[in-house]
Structure 1
Amino acid sequence: MKATLERTDLLKSLTHVHRVVERRNTIPILSNVLIRAEDGVLKLKATDLDLEILETVPAMIEMPGATTVPAHMIHDIVRKLQDGSQVVLETTSDNATLEIRAGRSKFALQMLPETDFPDLTAGDFTHGFTLSAGDIRKLIDTTQFAISTEETRYYLNGIYIHAVDTADGARFRAVATDGHRLAQAEVPAPSGSAGMPGIIVPRKTVGEIQKLLEEPEADVQVELSETKIRVTTASVILTSKLIDGTFPDYGRVIPQGNDKEMRVDRDEFKEAVDRVSTISSERGRAVKLSLSEGRLILAVNNPDSGSATEEIAVEYDSDPLEIGFNSRYLLDIANQLNSDTALFRFADSGSPTLVQDNTVEDCLFVLMPMRV
């Protein structure tokens, strides 16, 4: 195998694929990236047996062929090569090492045979449709922070995506929750998504898809089955197993009768929460919201370090209310809001609170209170 290509192109592709490879592997071949040179392109593939990324990059192919080399090692080498240089990848005549040459630099990496490299067999995909990168990014960015990291509740370790029929027509909805907070976002359902199975996309896969969405207007092809998802962009094909589990009936935790409404300037609220939470303990992070007509007092009391309060003006004309929240969770939700005004809907101090943009209807957040 012998191929020549731009260092910038090779580095961009290696940056995408090497992230899939775990630093510590008990199976040596899983530490490697598969490099295949054919038909004027270089194909790079990496997998951890749950997730596979295949990237195609233009190259001058003098001799077709394929091999595998350590993914993190080749990424570090190419990253440190001089910007703008031409990189030559060539296997030695004894097929033992891959030579990497650029300018006066020369490296030789130990290879493992490409026949040992596993293939995450795609199988049949029952549903396929096209979404804009901007829509996919919206679904991920709005809900990703609420994915649970608790491994025992594995079915919460991802984003639940499904199609729903609403009064506004068919919608494509993403939901994530960790039991303390819930985030939901939706976009118009694409043609071909009707009847699709509800799927749970794992946290790692969500992060990798997010990094591939560079052009908001670009079309992204999505294919689904009950066990796998495949996402195809202009130069990358990502295939991943889905979480095999049942996502809880999240509709039951979205409050319907919260009648105490507070409207507050989003940025002013964020900054006030951030300031008073400086005092809060790392463990509790509790902030108390005291509401009365036209005003909100945020208070933190930490027996070990002191206390803090701040008052801000709000639109509120219901009964006085005191309720506590985890300050980090409040900030996470506030950072996802797009309109200048945040809308909070309360029931009482012990019930879930609904948070929405004041003007945008297609995102909502639910936050469980804390005892303060």
Structure 2
Amino acid sequence: MKFKADRATLLKALAHIQSVAEKRNTIPILANVLIAVQGGKLTLTATDMEIAIVEEVAATSSRDGSTTAPASVLFEIVRKLPDGAEVELDQAGGDAPLALRAGRYATSLNVLGVDDFPSMTAGTLPHRFMIGSGVLRGLIDRSRFAISTEETRYYLNGIYLHPAKGDTGDMLRAVATDGHRLARVETELPAGAAGMPGVIVPRKTVGEVRKLLDEAGEQVEIALSDTRIQFTIGTVMLTSKLIDGTFPEYERVIPRDNDKILRVGKKDFSDAVARVSAISQERSRPVKLTLERHLLTLSAASADQGTAKEELDEGRVSYDSGPIEIGFQARYLNDITDQIEKDVEFAFSDSAAPTVVRDVDSPSALYVLMPMRV
């Protein structure tokens, strides 16, 4: 195997690859990238046995073949080469080292046998559809903050992607929850997605896909079965196992009759939350919202530091219902308001019931937040 590639092109691909490759594991081959040249085409592959990523790279090849080399080491070497460098990789086959040359720089890397590299074949993926890269980015960005990190409830460790009936017709929904907050984001159901099963896309996969979307073209192809999902984003194909579990019936926790409506500017509200919550360094310290007609008072207290209070009055808030006091963890409030562009709407029932939060200008997203005792 022998080829030459532009340093910037190779570095971009290796950045994607080494992110998936397992750096710390008991199976050494999983830390390696599979480098293959066949018919003049160069592909790089990495897997951790849960996710596999394959990327085609523009290169000039002079000898077909394949080998594996440490992904993170190769990435660091190429990253530190000068801009504009042409990188040549040459491996004679078998267990011969991989020689890398760029200008006057040369190094060699030990390799592991290609036969030991695991194949994570996707099998049959009967459901296929195209979705705009910006649409998919929005589904991920507005929901992934609510993914649970509690490993015992593994079925919450991802985004639940599924078709659903919405207020305006058939929708594709992304839902995530950790039991404290819930995010439900939807878009018009793409052609070809109507028969897809509901699937739970793991947290790591969501993160890898999101990184790739920053460099994506206009469209992404998604193919899936009951057990696997595949994203084709430009020259990159990422295949992942799905979480084998049942996502909870999330619709049952979304309140329908919350009738105390607060509307407030996102910036005014989030800035006030940040100021009053600064009194305490405890991550779980609640911020109390005290509501009266056209007046919102935010307050927080710390046994060690003292108290803080800020009022948002008429002109900045709209609230016509009866008085209510309710508390939320400041970080959870910020996680939700970060997804909102301009104006935020809170729908309350009482101080102990879940609160519904919406973006006034974007009905496609809905959030539920559990209160804290204050």
Pairwise TM-score range, normalised by the shorter structure: over 0.9
Give 3-state SS (helix, strand or coil) of 1:45's partner: strand
Please show how residues 203-282 of structure 1 align to structure 2 within 5 Å: 203-214=203-214, 218-282=218-282
SS in 1 for 2:190: coil
1:360 to partner: Cα distance: 1.4
Paired amino acid for 1:257:
D
Amino acid corresponding to residue 336 of structure 2 in structure 1: I
Deviation at 1:218, TM superposition (A): 1.3
* TM superposition shift of 1:40: 2.9
CA contact (8 A) 1:92 1:99 kept: no
Q: In the alignment, what sits opposite 2:192? A: 192
Instruction: Verify the 8 A CA contact 1:261 1:345 in the aligned structure 2.
Output: yes
Equivalent positions of 1:49-198 (< 5 A) are 49-92=49-92, 95-198=95-198
Kept in 2, the 8 Å contact 1:40–1:58? The answer is no
For each residue in 1:209-231, what CA deviation from the matched residue of structure 2 results, as whole angstroms up to 9, or x when unmatched? 00111356511110010000000
Question: Partners of 1:348 and 1:272 in 2: how far apart?
Answer: 22
Moved over 2 A (4+): 38-41, 92-95, 214-217
Match of 1:329 among 329, 332, 355: 332
Q: Cα offset for 1:284?
A: 2.4
| 1:24-62 residue CA offsets vs partner (Å, 9 max, x unmatched) | 110011110000012333200000000000011110000
TM-superposed CA distance for 1:367, in Å, is 0.2
CA distance in 2, matches of 1:50, 1:138: 24
- Deviation track 1:263-313 (CA, whole Å, cap 9, x = no partner) reads 001101010001111112424221000001111111000001111111112
Give the Cα–Cα distance (whole angstroms) in 2 for the partners of residues 358 and 60 of structure 1.
Answer: 53
Deviations 1:188-234 (A, max 9, x none): 10111112100000000000000111356511110010000000122
Match among 360, 368, 374 for residue 366 of structure 1: 368
**TM value normalised by structure 1:** 0.98
Q: Say yes or no: does 1:29 pair with 2:5.
A: no
More displaced 10-residue stretch of structure 1: 229-238 or 162-171? 162-171
Amino acid at match of 1:332: D
How far apart are the structure 1 equivalents of 2:202 and 2:163? 18
- What are the ranges of 5 or more consecutive residues in structure 2 without an aligned counterpart? none
Alpha carbons 1:139, 1:185 under 8 Å: kept: yes
Give the Å deviation of 1:126.
1.8
2 CA distance for matches of 1:165 and 1:257?
A: 20
Equivalent residue, structure 2, for 1:308: 308
Q: Distance in 1 between matches of 2:58 and 2:40?
A: 6
Distance in 1 (CA, whole Å) between partners of 2:116 and 2:14 is 20
Verify: 1:294 aligned to 2:297, yes or no.
no
1: CA distance, partners of 2:205 / 2:267:
31
Structure 2 vs 1, CA of residues 28 and 243 (structure 1 numbering), >3 Å: closer, same or farther? same
Equivalent-residue separation in structure 2 for 1:167 and 1:269 (angstroms): 28
Contact kept, 8 Å, 2:94 with 2:113, in 1: the verdict is no
Amino acid paired to 1:151: E
Q: Structure 1 residue 88: deviation in Å?
A: 0.1
Maintained 8 Å contact 2:53/2:236: yes
Contact 2:216/2:234, CA 8 A, preserved across alignment = no
State the one-letter code of the partner of 2:160: Y
The TM-score normalised by the length of structure 2 is 0.97
The amino acid across from 1:222 in the alignment is: I
Provide the aligned C-alpha RMSD in A: 1.1
The answer to whether the 8 A contact 1:41-1:58 is kept is yes
Q: Distance in 2 between matches of 1:54 and 1:221?
A: 15
1:48 lines up with 2:51 in the alignment: no
Summarize the Cα distance change of 1:81–1:45 in structure 2 as closer, same or farther, 3 Å threshold.
Answer: same
Query: What is the letter of the counterpart of residue 73 of structure 2?
Result: M
Distance 2:216 2:19 in 1: 22
